[in-house]
Structure 1
Amino acid sequence: MPRYALKVEYNGAPFSGWQRQSEHPSVQGAIEAALGKLEKRAHTIAAAGRTDAGVHGLGQVAHCDMEKEWDAFRLSEALNYHLKPEPVAITACARVDDAFHARFSATWRRYLFRLVCRRAPLTHEAGLAWRVPHMLDPVAMQAGADRLIGRHDFTTFRSSICQADSALRTLDRLDVEPVERPDGLEIRFHVQARSFLHNQVRSFVGTLERVGAGAWTPDDVTAALEARDRAACGPVCPPHGLYLAAVGYAPDPFDHI
């Protein structure tokens, strides 16, 4: 069966997450239903990461197996037609060999988290960023973020329901980028690793928000990390500012598009 890699963009607000569920809408379910319109049978796709309810996708990657050969561009166009009006789009599609697996072939994943500092509620960006009503110090936040780079036991920064066998992970990047806006300050967190624990990025951002607000110091971040205790984590921020931004492969199946 020919295999295709799909690059997927979605607004996670109306979904209960990526993973298919019997009683709730999911991104996976929407794509599998669209595939069923093209080849009338049950479809199962696999993704690079299972995002939670309310989390968005900019560069999620999934793969699907088809019964017939499709031109990759025509397959993406057909899927986008049948995905309407769901806020899901296939932004790229590529034919791949059978050894390619969206999850297991991935060499890294990068997340973006958007935080906006302003007094007024967000209107046009409601559900797309986390608003805090006070200013934050991005320099202090970067100093705290630097304490998390490298290979550590991240027990403190993972959900109590995380199913990973080990909390050991290598964090390659955690950049805090301030972006001036007419209405305040946006802070973008760029977080990259080979793999992540459940709620790890949201735990990082919620903790670093406390550093930016002056309630924590970078030393407190180190102490929390070394505690290896979920109770030592700062607040976990909401999901709606989080985006699965990109997934890396070697070679990248979308390079030639």
Structure 2
Amino acid sequence: MDSPRARYLVFFQYVGTAFSGVMAVKQPMHKVGVQNLLESAAERLKSITPVKFNISSRTDSGVHALENSAHLDIQRLPGRPPFSPDILTSALNIHLEHPDIRVIRAFRAPDDFHARFEATSRTYLYRVVTGCSLDTLSVFDRNLCWALRAEHLNVAAMQEAAQHLQGTHDFQAFKSESKNNWQNPVKTLIRASVGPAPVSPFTHPQDKRKLQFWDIEFESKSFLYKQVRRMTACLVAVGLGTMTPSQVKEKLRSRDPQSGPAVLIAPAQGLFLKSVHYEGLDWGPGEDWYNRPSVSRGRSPGDVPEGPGL
């Protein structure tokens, strides 16, 4: 008699510099996806059926994740009990073949759980540093932030512009024209914030006085392709004085990606998927979700999170 299939929700993190993105690459040439390596590690678990990581949130090449998530099914040989979440976490980390990926924790989940559809929101963090250029930034930070030569940003103006982006809007003006044109551009931005961040611990002592780090965060259930990097570029343009908060508001209302001053897409290396949120997930990793009192896990087909604003 076959052993029962066990479904898990797994959280993992990675430095995205070496990868083509989080999604698997079918025929890897120079770079692979994070998913390729996660599934390669899972092959060592000897599941009867192949283990597929169903990723909750896409990230592009060069984008990092402090926390991404996926669900997966494991069916062990007859007579073998399901892995505990802690054992699964340790086993995957032991078999991972790249030092820039780590499984953080795992949970048992109901058989009908879906990591992508049932996430209630996603939070993205973008790191900016002023007072230097990329070639003068610490080698440890070069792939982890956007370096600006400007010594100062008008943060108050950036915060004002961020307030215009919050709420439910048609974000057509921040949508990539070349990909996923079928996506619904109406999104609800729960939060957009700009604020100072601690100086990187990798900063050389002689640079600490002139460098200032800034965190820009966005939270929503779903984002359009590269929406976060486009919104970040607008806010940075406001901080640099090449765009005003009212122009950001007008750009949003125009629904035209070409409207207003020319705005570049913020570089990939400063972007982090900070967290993926699920309703009712507030217990320790050793506990089983499917054994707890039921929580509302209703899916919203009209607001499927197709892709992060990468």
Q: What range describes the TM-score normalised by the shorter chain of this pair?
A: over 0.9
Partner in structure 1 of residue 176 of structure 2: 159
Q: 1:211 aligns with which of 230, 233, 238?
A: 238
Q: 1:193 aligns with which of 184, 208, 220?
A: 220
Partner in structure 2 of residue 168 of structure 1: 186
5+ residue gaps, structure 2: 77-81, 200-207, 286-310
How far has the Cα of 1:66 moved from its partner?
Answer: 0.1
State the identity %. 32
1:35 matched to 2:42? The reply is: yes
1:75-133 Cα deviation digits (max 9, x unpaired): 11010011143310001111111121110111111111111112233322110111111
CA distance in 2, matches of 1:255, 1:186: 33
Letter in 1 for 2:118: S
How far has the Cα of 1:165 moved from its partner?
Answer: 2.7
Residue pair 1:138, 1:187 contacting (<8 A) in 2 also = no
Residue pair 1:122, 1:131 contacting (<8 A) in 2 also = no
Partner SS, residue 228 of structure 2: helix
1:212-233 Cα deviation digits (max 9, x unpaired): 0011110110111111111126
1:19 matched to 2:23? The reply is: yes
Residue pair 2:125, 2:217 contacting (<8 A) in 1 also = yes
Letter in 1 for 2:54: A
Partner in structure 1 of residue 204 of structure 2: none
Q: 1:146 aligns with which of 159, 163, 177?
A: 163
Number of residue pairs aligned between Structure 1 and Structure 2: 256
Q: What TM-score, normalized to structure 2?
A: 0.79
Residue pair 2:56, 2:68 contacting (<8 A) in 1 also = yes
Question: Relative to 1, partners in 2 of residues 1:106 and 1:180: Cα closer, same or farther, differing over 3 Å?
Answer: closer
Residue pair 2:37, 2:98 contacting (<8 A) in 1 also = no
CA distance in 2, matches of 1:48, 1:161: 23
How far has the Cα of 1:42 moved from its partner?
Answer: 3.2
Q: 2:119 aligns with which of 96, 99, 106?
A: 106
Q: 1:240 aligns with which of 266, 269, 292?
A: 269
Partner SS, residue 188 of structure 1: strand
- The alignment's C-alpha RMSD in Å is 1.5
How far has the Cα of 1:11 moved from its partner?
Answer: 0.4
Quick check: which has more Rg, 1 or 2?
Answer: 2
Deviating 4+ runs (over 4 angstroms): none
CA distance in 1, matches of 2:183, 2:16: 27
Residue pair 1:10, 1:57 contacting (<8 A) in 2 also = yes
CA distance in 2, matches of 1:180, 1:14: 26
Partner in structure 1 of residue 56 of structure 2: 48
Deviates more, 1:211-220 or 1:81-90: 81-90
Partner SS, residue 207 of structure 1: helix
How far has the Cα of 1:5 moved from its partner?
Answer: 0.8
Partner in structure 2 of residue 126 of structure 1: 142
Residue pair 2:41, 2:97 contacting (<8 A) in 1 also = no
Letter in 2 for 1:106: A
Partner SS, residue 65 of structure 1: strand
How far has the Cα of 1:61 moved from its partner?
Answer: 0.8
Residue pair 2:189, 2:220 contacting (<8 A) in 1 also = yes
